[in-house]
Amino acid sequence: MAKPTVGVDLGGTKVLAAVVDGRDVGESTKRPTPTDGPEAVVSAIAEMVEELGGAHRLGVGTPGYVDDDGVVGGVPNLQGWDPPVPLRAMLREATGVAHLAVDNDVNAAALGEVAHGAAEGHHDVLCVFMGTGVGGGLVLSGELRRGPRGLAGEIGHLVVRHGGRACACGGNGHVEAYAGRAGMEAEARRRHAAGEETALVDIAGDDRMKSSVFDKALKKGDRVAEELMEEAVVAVGTAIASAVMLVDVDLVVVGGGVADKLGPELVARVGAESSGLLGEALAVPVVPAALGDDAGVVGAALLGERA
């Protein structure tokens, strides 16, 4: 039997590899992301591909900016990485797979949503993923927009409030500062430290304030949680409106852990905000992502299919 296509979703905490056929995710394997640098990650991926019986084609989605040669730059959440890292070349050497592609993880997920998910059949699409941070992928005229430096789609770092809340990247007023789980947690803890009562801290304690914590606090009617969520909705809606004016898309997909957990209601609020800003004539539909946790490996496999 011919070897299959394998998609790999390389994340900050885990690596997921799966045999993928179009939308269908078959056999898969998962392990914690090695924390001792890119060589260890490359070895782990090679072993996982082997476990799955090898690959004829291999696609990998990774955090960071990725250039046309598969070199990774700027990866804040992979420990022990000192960019630039020539990930594609290293993976080719370790796996021997000839049809091999590496791209940004969010770009891969966006490709997945356009090919097999919520944006199937659309050619001009912005995908926004709300998780720990806020990432995006842009498909223009049917092609993933990468840009000369592989930067394109970084909607989390659009400025929506000049001089506004500090972002983890060092900037100010970025979407991610208001709408990323980490930025929202930081703001909740600041407000709590300043004396405000909030169920967010009561529920999370000293642990990471997961999406489920926001969900529970919102269901209790917690005021701080609601205010943070409203700021997140405004930030993402504003960025979507700006993106539509700049590149003109006809569909926006919103996914990621936070959006998946808080559900279609959150996505509807984001859509209402962006439509209000764009006005009736220019508004575009904003819909929930359809692939959920599969988007990463399905999109990565697509990269491999095209390599």
Site for its own copies, rule CB under 8 A: 74, 123-124, 136, 138, 140, 145-155, 157-162, 169-171, 234-235, 238, 241-250, 277, 279, 281-282
Q: How far is Cα 1 from Cα 161, in angstroms, rounded to an integer?
A: 55
- Least separation, in Å, of the C-beta of 66 and its own copies? 12
185 token code pair: 């947690």
Query: Contact at 8 Å (CB) between 295 and 113?
Result: yes
Q: How far is Cα 274 from Cα 160, in angstroms, rounded to an integer?
A: 13
Residue-wise over 169-184: b if at least 16 C-beta within 10 A, else e? eeeebbbbbbbbbbbb
Exposed (0-12), middle (13-18) or buried (19+): which is 208, by Cβ within 10 Å? exposed
Q: Which is nearer to its own copies, 199 or 241 (CB)?
A: 241
Q: How far is Cα 78 from Cα 80, in angstroms, rounded to an integer?
A: 7
Alpha-carbon distances, residue 108 vs 4, 19, 112, 250, 303 (angstroms):
18, 15, 6, 20, 7
Q: Which is nearer to its own copies, 131 or 135 (CB)?
A: 135
- Least separation, in Å, of the C-beta of 232 and its own copies? 12
Q: Which is nearer to its own copies, 52 or 167 (CB)?
A: 167
Q: Which is nearer to its own copies, 213 or 243 (CB)?
A: 243
- Least separation, in Å, of the C-beta of 121 and its own copies? 13
Q: Which is nearer to its own copies, 59 or 136 (CB)?
A: 136
- Least separation, in Å, of the C-beta of 15 and its own copies? 27
Q: Which is nearer to its own copies, 163 or 221 (CB)?
A: 163
Q: Which is nearer to its own copies, 234 or 301 (CB)?
A: 234
Query: Contact at 8 Å (CB) between 200 and 217?
Result: yes
Q: Which is nearer to its own copies, 124 or 260 (CB)?
A: 124
Q: Which neighbouring-strand residues pair with 31?
A: 15
Report the alpha-carbon angle 212-216-217, nearest 5: 115
3-state class of 54 per DSSP? Answer: coil
- Residue 121 carries which DSSP code? T
Query: Contact at 8 Å (CB) between 59 and 46?
Result: no
Q: How far is Cα 307 from Cα 189, in angstroms, rounded to an integer?
A: 45
3-state class of 77 per DSSP? Answer: coil
- Least separation, in Å, of the C-beta of 246 and its own copies? 6
- Least separation, in Å, of the C-beta of 206 and its own copies? 32
- Least separation, in Å, of the C-beta of 67 and its own copies? 11
- Least separation, in Å, of the C-beta of 107 and its own copies? 12
Q: Which is nearer to its own copies, 148 or 195 (CB)?
A: 148
Q: How far is Cα 235 from Cα 225, in angstroms, rounded to an integer?
A: 15
- Least separation, in Å, of the C-beta of 41 and its own copies? 23
